[in-house]
Amino acid sequence: MPSGNAPTVRQRRIGSALRKARDHHNLTVATVARRFGRSQGWLSMVENGLQVIAPEELSDLLDFYGIEDGPLRESLLHLATHTPGKWVRERVGRISAAALDLASLEEDAAEIRTFQSNIIPGLLQIPAYTWKLMAIGPAGNSRAASTLVEFRLSRQQVLSRPNPPHYVPIIAETVLSNQVGGDPAILHAQIRRLAEVARLDHVDLRILPSSASEYLSLITPCHLISLRPPGRLTVTVGDHYNKSIFVEDEDEVASHEEIFDLLLSATLSRTASMELIDEIASKA
């Protein structure tokens, strides 16, 4: 039976992962439902986030798909026992549950709004820029850093897929002059990358000028991710040094959206933002 409730972000996250696992094995809904002893309708509802799945059934289904112990399995089982509202993910030097949750939400997004006060957003970073960031974190060894860099770059494909999400990144102006690794060439290449991406029709890149720095106190670095149907769902993902906080409570998310809109009102226009980036890129 359907859950009787509107879909939640956690249900959508679980359903999306199960659908990918099924596709990975080239199985149809009918085949899996028959072998698992459930109806096609039930499995379809689960995959679309419209049906709650009990942790025990989820565990059995993950076994069926051969998903062994690790961040993905732990993440999904955690969400299956989670009460809607908020969940916290520790970030460690590997592809953590936090990274998997964020990537899954981005792939299912109709719109992604991002604010960054100190660095270029991950979806816009060039490899060299990302490498420098990863090299000083918990994943400082080359093998772990390489895995994280590759994963971040793979996330960027969401912006070049057919029917990409509407992307609204807000970047503080000071970020455009912040060098990483003490290498001006990396920053110059990164600025040129921003100039390219800013011209995409589905990207509305905005710069928060230094003259409006008081707005930086309104909010910490975060993402507002609005998912495609079914349902009208938006989740806030707050970035912290060692963890990510995922918020799906409607009232709390609504307050975050109001703050983002206020921050957006203080940015340069899309055209003025592109002109500033172009000016900086021309000096590289």
Helices 40-47 and 9-24 sit at what angle, rounded to 10 degrees? 120
Same domain? For 139 and 260 the reply is yes
- The Cα diameter of the chain in Å comes to 64
* β-strand partners of 169: 114
* β-strand partners of 236: 224, 247
CA 83 to chain centroid, in Å, comes to 21
pLDDT digits (tens, 9 = 90+) for 184-221: 999 999 999 999 999 999 999 999 999 999 999 998 99
Same domain? For 37 and 151 the reply is no
Q: pLDDT exceeding 90 applies to what percent of the chain?
A: 57
Contact (CB, 8 A) for 173 and 116: no
Same domain? For 235 and 147 the reply is yes
The pLDDT of residue 254 is above 70: yes
State both tokens at 88.
């916290």
Same domain? For 26 and 92 the reply is no
The pLDDT of residue 140 is above 70: no
- Three-state DSSP at 107 gives helix
Domain that holds residue 193: 87-282
Same domain? For 62 and 161 the reply is no
- pTM listed for this prediction: 0.79
CA atoms within 13 A of residue 159's CA, in its CB half-sphere: 25
What mean pLDDT is predicted for residues 94-99?
A: 76
| N-to-C CA span, the chain | 60
Helix or strand holding residue 41 (H, E): helix 40-47
Q: How many domains does the chain have?
A: 2
CA distance 73 to 76: 5
State both tokens at 94.
């590997």
Same domain? For 231 and 91 the reply is yes
Same domain? For 27 and 70 the reply is yes
